[in-house]
């Protein structure tokens, strides 16, 4: 949960207060998508930078990881994170689609990297090369549904089930044979996702929830609530 850079022009003290209250919900596992988008510039760049910087501070206070949306703004985003400090809970580069020359510094900073549909695109050799360099313990896969539909289904609406195509491509670019080798790799991707995002409430979340009078849900109750939310979205 967070304020996307497209909406950064609306980020103010009131919105930050609302965000802090929402982050108290034990079902929230990260702050995001946050970041910078200089491609569309739906919000002024200075507003984007300020909203991003403030939300990095919020995430660090809450003890939560951040999920980054960065487009044509990697230098500024990296500089802000260097100045503010990368959250100890983790940083995830969402749907990375550039080359290793850009990605290397993020990996060296300990960031997780998620690859979606672009890693399967016909003319994305530089993305596949980048995926081949990421340490296994920092690698995730995703869909960015309903966007970025992977090959061979380009043109259709992307769905969560299409993650199998991106995962298969990651296995391919890393030269993994069918069978036990691939199975172990895919289990590691799943473990990375669980380790980063399937977490117990942080001490900050527990305190904030208590202040707000929010009942803490058990793991079973959280799972049921997530299923109910998913069904309601259909």
For the chain, 234 residues long, the average pLDDT of each consecutive 10-residue run is 98 97 96 98 98 98 98 98 98 97 98 97 97 98 94 95 96 95 96 95 96 70 63 65
CA 174 centroid distance within chain: 22
* DSSP for 177-217, written as a single string: PTTHHHHHHHHHHHHHHHHHHS-PPPHHHHHHHHHHTPPPP
pLDDT in tens, 188-216: 999 999 999 999 999 999 999 999 987 66
| Reported CATH class of domain 5-233 | alpha beta
- Residue of 66, 36, 32, 34 whose CA lies nearest to 48: 36
- Residue of 115, 197, 107 whose CA lies nearest to 150: 115
Rounded Cα–Cα distance for residues 11 and 84 (Å): 18
Extract the runs of DSSP E, i.e. beta strands, from the chain: 31-37, 66-71, 91-93, 112-115, 139-141
CA 123 centroid distance within chain: 24
Q: What is the pLDDT of residue 214?
A: 74
Number of helices (H), then strands (E), belonging to the chain: the values are: 9, 5
> 3-class DSSP state for residue 126?
helix
Q: What is the pLDDT of residue 225?
A: 64
Tokens matching residue 31: 């702050």
pLDDT in tens, 72-110: 999 999 999 999 999 999 999 999 999 999 999 999 999
pTM for the full model?
Answer: 0.90
Peptide bond into 33 cis (omega under 30): yes
């Amino acid at each position: 949960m967070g304020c996307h850079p497209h909406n950064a022009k609306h980020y103010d003290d009131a919105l930050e207060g609302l965000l802090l209250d929402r982050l108290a919900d034990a079902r929230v596992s990260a702050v995001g998508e946050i970041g910078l988008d200089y491609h569309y510039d739906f919000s002024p760049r200075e507003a984007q930078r300020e909203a991003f910087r403030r939300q990095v501070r919020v995430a660090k206070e809450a003890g939560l990881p951040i999920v980054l949306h960065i487009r044509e703004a990697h230098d500024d985003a990296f500089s802000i994170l260097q100045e503010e400090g990368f959250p100890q809970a983790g940083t995830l580069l969402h749907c990375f689609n550039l080359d290793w020359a850009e990605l290397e510094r993020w990996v060296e900073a300990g960031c997780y990297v998620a690859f979606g549909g672009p890693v399967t695109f016909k003319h994305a050799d530089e993305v596949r090369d980048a995926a081949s360099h990421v340490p296994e313990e920092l690698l995730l896969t995703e869909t960015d549904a309903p966007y970025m539909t992977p090959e061979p289904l380009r043109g259709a609406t992307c769905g969560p089930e299409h993650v199998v195509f991106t995962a298969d491509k990651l296995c391919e670019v890393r030269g993994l044979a069918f069978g036990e080798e691939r199975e172990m790799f895919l289990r590691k991707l799943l473990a990375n996702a669980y380790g980063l995002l399937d977490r117990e409430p942080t001490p900050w979340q527990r305190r904030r929830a208590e202040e707000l009078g929010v009942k803490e849900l058990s793991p079973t109750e959280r799972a049921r609530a997530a299923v109910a939310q998913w069904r309601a979205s259909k």
